[in-house]
Amino acid sequence: MVISKEAVLAWIRAFAAAVEQHKEYLTELDAALGDADHGANMHRGLQAVLDRLNGVADRDIGTILRTVGMTLVSSVGGASGPLYGTFFLRAGTAAGTKMELTADDWLQMLEAGIRGIVDRGKARRGEKTMLDALGPGLDTLKASLQEGQPLNEALRRSAEAAREGMEATIPMLATKGRASYLGERSVGHQDPGATSAYLLLQTAAETWTAGA
């Protein structure tokens, strides 16, 4: 199984649709921990991405993802724009000029994107951030591929691990970002960034395993 350029484009569109569908929920989560704008900001940025996708749809995967990243950096407010933008920029650089991706390509791209978030946000797991969903997703993808699981199964397991990581942010004490200002009051709330990060991996799994 390989992931075609068209499948990558379909994933980006599916992620944008998922954020649009859950926009109010993401904003509700952010109201408890931040500025109550995560859903609106992500939706605005991804709509800008959709506007630019057709202009690069015939290019290689690296160019497509770097375009996504640059658009998010320039159009999403708060911390989300730089963090998601860096994720896509780094993933796009890792993809290079490829027109289709293998399982190992996707693993390397996900690793590169997450390293970019760590570098940009100076965060680590356990601090109630998007890394608490992406990190388990990456670990499970890597372990599943090392076990010899087919890519479609590895993607499903990766998304499920991201969901569990997202839910695990509820009892965490926030120590990064605006949520950290709340101290103990941040406990008991699901992190909005971890939630949108779960949607990122969930839509990848659903898009790329459709019919598999």
- How many helices (H) and strands (E) the chain has is answered by 9, 2
Res 79 pLDDT > 60: yes
Q: Give the model confidence (pLDDT) of 154-210 as tens digits.
A: 999 999 999 999 999 999 887 766 665 556 666 888 999 999 999 999 999 999 998
Sequence ranges of the domains in the chain? 3-208
pLDDT for the residue 176: 60
pLDDT of residue 30: 87
Residue whose tokens read 């993808």? 141
* Topology of the domain covering 3-208: 1.25.40
Give me the pLDDT at residue 49, please. 97
Quote the CA–CA distance of 73 and 116 in Å, as a whole number. 13
Residues 130 and 138 sit within 8 Å (Cβ to Cβ): no
Tell me the per-residue pLDDT of 11-64, one tens digit each, with 9 for 90 and over.
Answer: 999 999 999 999 999 999 988 887 788 999 999 999 999 999 999 999 999 999
> Contact at 8 Å (CB) between 50 and 18?
no
